Chain A
Amino acid sequence: QKEVEQDPGPLSVPEGAIVSLNCTYSNSAFQYFMWYRQYSRKGPELLMYTYSSGNKEDGRFTAQVDKSSKYISLFIRDSQPSDSATYLCAMSPVRGGSYIPTFGRGTSLIVHP
């Protein structure tokens, strides 16, 4: 079992829908949680990051962490065709050892007009 599991999709939704993207993990040492967005033929770009549990909101995006369930989510409200991309979750421990994050395999999202 990989440390971070992410459904590859594709997830296809109509414009305006609320999108939920999720990752599960097994390493309880993870404290920092990140979401990256990757457009086709581009490198990933950091979308949001959160520390420990709780929610973080940025415009139409909300990142949620449930450490008790080892489950993180990214919600996209009022989804737009421009949100069509692959979304990768990533996680890393706080202290001790390297900060190199462990990435999920990515979920492909398609928002159709």
Chain B
Amino acid sequence: IAGITQAPTSQILAAGRRMTLRCTQDMRHNAMYWYRQDLGLGLRLIHYSNTAGTTGKGEVPDGYSVSRANTDDFPLTLASAVPSQTSVYFCASSDSGAAGPLPSGYGYTFGSGTRLTVV
């Protein structure tokens, strides 16, 4: 089934530890994104990548890093986790990352999320 796979589904992490959230898509979408979703704050963009080899900062990038070595994978790393990074993390992809007319399949495909608790 085409879509986005996120791993792990959930994780409890000790503060100060390093953690990588994995995201893989099989739709050959050029653009990928990481969001965090917190109650009352909605979805907030952490980092994005319009195409393999490029990345950009979103609204809340501090404490997070990403890489985009190929089209399919977009891991998110927390170098030294803090309790304020407790959240639900969603990876998403789209084929509308470049300027120009939007294709018929416009819109984001989201993964099922990773629930991260930092204690």
Contact = CB atoms under 8 A, between A and B. Distances in A.
A51 to B, nearest CB: 8
Contacts of A99: 31, 94, 96-99, 102
Interface of B: 4, 31, 33, 40-43, 45, 48, 50, 56, 58, 90, 92, 94, 96-100, 102, 106-113
Interface SS majority for chain B? loop
Contact of B42 (A41, A96, A106): A106
Interface in A70-113: 88, 94-101, 103-106
A32 B99 CA distance: 13
Interface residues of A, number: 25
A61 interface: no
Contact of A46 (B50, B56, B108): B108
Interface SS majority for chain A? loop
Contacts of B99: 95-97, 99
Contact of B90 (A43, A95, A98, A100): A43
21 contacts: A32-B102, A34-B107, A36-B108, A41-B112, A42-B112, A43-B4, A43-B111, A44-B43, A46-B107, A46-B108, A49-B106, A88-B42, A95-B99, A96-B99, A97-B99, A98-B48, A99-B99, A100-B45, A100-B58, A105-B41, A106-B42
